[in-house]
Amino acid sequence: MIQGLTTNRAPRPTRIGVLRKGERKPAQGNRPGRDLDRFRFDPEAGDPALLEAFAAAYPDGNDIEVYLPYQTADENFEAWQEEWTASQLKHRCDGVHVYERDQRTGELHDTGRPCPGGCKQVGRLTVIVPALISGASRFGFVTVLTTSIYDIAELSQALAYYEMLAGGDLRGIPFVLSRREREVSVPMNGKRARVTKHLIFIEPSQRWVSNRLEAARRAALAAPPEVKLLVDSRTGEIHDAPADDVEEADYREVPPVPVGQPAVQDHQTRPMTPFQRQKLLELAEEYFEAVPDETENLLDDLFIEQVGRGISVATYNEAREVTAYLLREKRNRRPVEQPQPEPPAEQPQPNGDLSRAWQFWSSAVSQAKALGLTPEALDGAATYDEIKAATSNLSSRVAWFQRYKQLAGYGDELGVTPDEDEGAFLEVPLDALRQAAEVLARDIRAAVCEIHAHAETPLALPAEDAKIEVWVEVGRQLLYGHEPGEPVPF
Amino acid sequence: MQIKTVTVGYSRTIGLPNYGSARFSVEYGAELAPGEDPAAATRALHREAREEVKRQALPLVRQVNQKLDEVFEHLPEAVQAEILRLVEEGKAS
Query: What percent of chain B stands above pLDDT 70?
Result: 97
User: Considering CB atoms only, which of A108, A138, A237 is closest to B77?
Assistant: A237
Residue A338 is predicted with a pLDDT of: 47
For residue A44, pLDDT over 70 is answered with yes
Judge contact between A485 and A197, C-beta under 8 A. yes
| ∠ Cα A84 A87 A92 (to 5°) | 30
A53-75 pLDDT tens trace: 999 999 999 999 999 999 999 99
Closest chain A residue to B77 measured between Cα atoms? A235
**Listed residue (A317, A313, A385, A322) closest to A348, CA to CA:** A385
Average pLDDT over residues A295-302: 82
A334-382 pLDDT tens trace: 554 445 445 444 444 444 567 777 777 777 777 777 777 777 777 766 7
Q: Which residues of B touch A101 (CB under 8 A)?
A: 20-22
Judge contact between A185 and A486, C-beta under 8 A. yes
Interface of A with B in 46-75 (CB under 8 A): 67, 69-70
> C-alpha A85: how far from its chain's center?
29
Average pLDDT over residues B84-90: 81
Q: Grade residue A10 by pLDDT with cuts at 50, 70 and 90.
A: low
Query: What percent of chain A stands above pLDDT 70?
Result: 77
Closest chain B residue to A104 measured between Cα atoms? B22
Query: What are residue A300's phi and psi, to 5 degrees?
Result: -60, -45
Residue B48 is predicted with a pLDDT of: 94
User: Considering CB atoms only, which of A1, A103, A134 is closest to B23?
Assistant: A103
Average pLDDT, chain A: 76
Query: What are residue A114's phi and psi, to 5 degrees?
Result: -70, 150
Around Cβ B51, how many Cβ atoms within 10 Å? 12
Query: What are residue A448's phi and psi, to 5 degrees?
Result: -65, -40
Residue A256 is predicted with a pLDDT of: 41
Average pLDDT over residues A23-52: 87
Q: Give dist(CA A170, CA B70) in Å, integer.
A: 13
Q: Grade residue A38 by pLDDT with cuts at 50, 70 and 90.
A: very high
Q: Which residues of A touch B67 (CB under 8 A)?
A: 70
A130 vs B82: CB contact, 8 Å cut-off?
Answer: yes
Q: Which residues of B touch A172 (CB under 8 A)?
A: 74-76
The better pLDDT of the pair A52, B93 is held by A52
Q: Give dist(CA A448, CA A416) in Å, integer.
A: 10
SS3 A82: strand
**Listed residue (A125, A126, A211, A200) closest to A166, CA to CA:** A211
What's the first-to-final CA gap in chain B, in angstroms? 52
Highest mean pLDDT among A38-52, A382-396, A416-430: A38-52
B71 vs A237: CB contact, 8 Å cut-off?
Answer: no
Residue A353 is predicted with a pLDDT of: 64
Which helix (H) or strand (E) is A234 found in, with range?
none
Residue A419 is predicted with a pLDDT of: 67
Q: How far is CA A111 from CA A344, A399, A457, in A?
A: 51, 45, 20
Q: Which amino acid is at B19?
A: Y
For residue A221, pLDDT over 70 is answered with no
Q: Which residues of A touch B23 (CB under 8 A)?
A: 103-104
